[in-house]
Amino acid sequence: MNKKVTVQDLGLKDYKETWDYQELLFKNIVDTKIRNRREEANLDTPNHFLFVEHPHVYTLGKSGDINNLLVDENKLAEKGATFYKINRGGDITYHGPGQVVGYPILDLDNFFTDIHKYLRFLEEMVILTLAEYGLKAERSKGETGVWLDVGTPFARKICAMGVRASRWVTMHGFALNVNADLGYFDMMIPCGIRDKAVTSLNVELGQKEVDMEEVKQKLLNYFTALFEAELVKEEAGV
């Protein structure tokens, strides 16, 4: 089992460009697995972890309801935002500057073949990271992602998650609001959930801005511990 994970930080990158790059890495892993099975090639399958910030964009998962996007194309254009229907699970979500977006593209055969455990580990990575900032983040029963003040009228989501997995290879991932412009969430019903708010780390801490690089490093530290991974940092390839 190959537990090495190549980490790339793509910086600010168009959503479709990044999606195409994810698909390329994903296909390479799947193709290697197929070759191993057919030819008994016994080749290591690679693992990747991409960090990225996207320009303003709304994405709708396979089972999502387009009615959860509350504005039309003209309003999106006016706000400098784009929209894509994509192949992950979940409903509608927003990505934009000030978010730490992470896309682990892993062969779970290298770690464990349990997609629910995978999602719980991603949530735990975020929960432990936020604890370092003095925040008590939690899971909300039946709702993927990471929340604050669960079970109260003030429940609010700080990290959205949506993944795709095929042949135990993952793609897509999580979006943690660090310095996000929360006004963009008003143009949708986040994840199709009407009665809960959205927040950002800088808002919770009462700061104008939180160091994004520090947050990324904390996330990687917990990812490494939870997945028992070995990280290899690499220059962005897209």
51-101+109-227: in CATH 3.30.460.10: no
Asked if 159 is an active-site residue, the reply is no
- pLDDT at residue 102 above 80? yes
Domain ranges of the chain: 51-101+109-227
The answer to whether the CB of 171 falls within 8 A of the CB of 23 is yes
First to last CA, the chain: 27
Helix (H) or strand (E) holding 217: helix 212-227
Of how many residues is the chain composed? Answer: 238
Q: Is 174 annotated as a binding residue?
A: yes
Q: Is 92 annotated as a binding residue?
A: yes
Over residues 114-138, the mean pLDDT reads 97
Backbone angles phi, psi at 83, to 5 degrees: -140, 135
Q: Is 61 annotated as a binding residue?
A: no
The answer to whether the CB of 163 falls within 8 A of the CB of 171 is yes
Q: Is 98 annotated as a binding residue?
A: no
State the Cα–Cα distance between residues 133 and 84, nearest whole angstrom. 33
Q: Is 80 annotated as a binding residue?
A: no
Mean pLDDT of the chain: 92
Joined tokens for residue 161: 């998650």
| Residue 208 CB neighbour total at 10 angstroms | 7
State the Cα–Cα distance between residues 212 and 202, nearest whole angstrom. 10
Partners of 92 in the β-ladder:
60
Q: Is 180 annotated as a binding residue?
A: no
Helix (H) or strand (E) holding 138: strand 137-140
Give the predicted TM-score (pTM) of the model. 0.93
3-state secondary structure of 170: strand
Q: What is the pLDDT of residues 194-232, one digit of tens each?
A: 557 899 999 999 999 999 999 999 999 999 999 999 999
Q: What is the pLDDT of residues 7-16, one digit of tens each?
A: 999 999 999 9
Catalytic residue among 60, 126, 159, 191: 191
